């Protein structure tokens, strides 16, 4: 679960690296965000190697989609899985389209039933769980 002031990281090729969560979207007084939820983030650091090809700047505020969390996902048969990090993918603020062209790492099957199907087509793979 992701709440205000949670440190996140970007796994797309926008150039952002370290992020901080400002707000969990969709709800009055909503405290936590889970997988496939929107959060408002601020960029705290950029990738060092590609500073000339960066699509973002320090301190910018964007919306992002939560890709994985550390909380457990439970399957219908009783199995569970948890991930190590808290990555997000940046979105363009007005259109809610994905800013990057590649997403690194696996995504859970839960994205097949969300409104962000474009994320599945550009990710490295889908974890069938």
Mean predicted confidence (pLDDT) in 25-43:
91
pLDDT of residue 26: 86
CATH class label, 7-127: mainly beta
β-sheet bridge partners, residue 38? 65
Report the percent of the chain where pLDDT is more than 70.
96
Q: Decide if pLDDT at 104 tops 70.
A: yes
For the chain, the C-alpha Rg in angstroms (whole number) is 14
Domain boundaries, the chain: 7-127
- Give which of 19, 18, 15 is closest to 51, Cα–Cα: 15
pTM: 0.88
- Give which of 58, 55, 66 is closest to 107, Cα–Cα: 66
């Amino acid at each position: 679960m992701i709440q205000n002031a949670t440190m996140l990281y970007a796994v797309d090729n926008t150039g952002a690296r370290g992020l901080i969560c400002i707000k969990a979207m969709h709800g009055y007084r909503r405290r936590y965000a889970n997988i496939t939820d929107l959060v408002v983030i601020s960029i705290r650091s950029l990738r060092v190697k590609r500073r000339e090809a960066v699509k973002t700047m320090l301190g910018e505020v964007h919306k992002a989609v939560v890709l994985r969390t550390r909380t457990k996902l439970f399957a219908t048969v009783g199995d569970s899985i948890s991930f190590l990090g808290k990555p997000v993918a940046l979105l363009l603020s007005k259109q809610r389209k994905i800013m990057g062209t590649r997403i690194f790492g696996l995504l859970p099957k839960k994205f097949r039933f969300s409104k962000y199907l474009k994320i599945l087509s550009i990710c490295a793979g889908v974890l069938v769980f």
